[in-house]
Structure 1
Amino acid sequence: MTTPPQTTVDVRTIAPRDRHPLIFGTFSKLAPGEALLLVNDHDPKPLYYQFQAEHGGEFQWEYVESGPDVWRVRIDRVAPCCT
């Protein structure tokens, strides 16, 4: 099985106020089947809830690494269920 294309977004050096716009902007450019790998310095759980609110059913969330210093989360773009 082939791994879908993946874009890495490392936000550890990005100002906190600019992180979510960068992540959502990157996600919006993904085609179904593509993914982004988020690299962060803390658990991005609040981001997960924002994804649920704004993109429920359009993504899959998988922790690849869970701290204590680095978190890596793979966020896959999936086709919406009912288009």
Structure 2
Amino acid sequence: MSTQETPIPAIDVRVIPPRDRHPLIFASLEALKPRESFMIVSDHEPRPLQYQLQTRFPGLFDWRFVEQGPETWRVVITREGGSDCGCCCGS
């Protein structure tokens, strides 16, 4: 019997106007349930976004690079499981 992994949804920010990227990403983060993930695909290193994420939601999300340039960066963000952080994203 084979086990198939569920594909991780992706947001390709390369096709989204710059002013709309972070609002879309943060709305997607807030919608994640514990242990759910999505991937961000970018044409630049998304370190500023990572710092914002760590500041707004310390310890709530795991950030894992799966590709690091030079032309494409892919990051999988996973919501950690089940603690109440008292933030607006419903954990």
Query: TM-score, normalization: structure 1?
Result: 0.88
Of residues 54, 57, 60, the one that matches 2:56 is: 54
AA aligned to 1:50 is Q
AA aligned to 1:9 is I
The corresponding residue for 2:26 is: 24
Identical amino acids, percent of aligned pairs: 46
Of residues 31, 35, 38, the one that matches 1:36 is: 38
**Alpha carbons 1:35, 1:77 under 8 Å: kept:** yes
Q: Which runs of 5+ in 1 are unaligned?
A: none
**Alpha carbons 1:38, 1:72 under 8 Å: kept:** yes
Q: Which structure features the higher share of strand residues?
A: 1
Structure 1 residues 33 and 81: alpha-carbon distance in aligned structure 2, compared to 1, 3 A threshold? same
Deviation at 1:82, TM superposition (A): 5.2
Q: Which runs of 5+ in 2 are unaligned?
A: 86-91
Paired residue total: 83
Q: How many Å separate the matches in 2 of 1:4 and 1:32?
A: 15
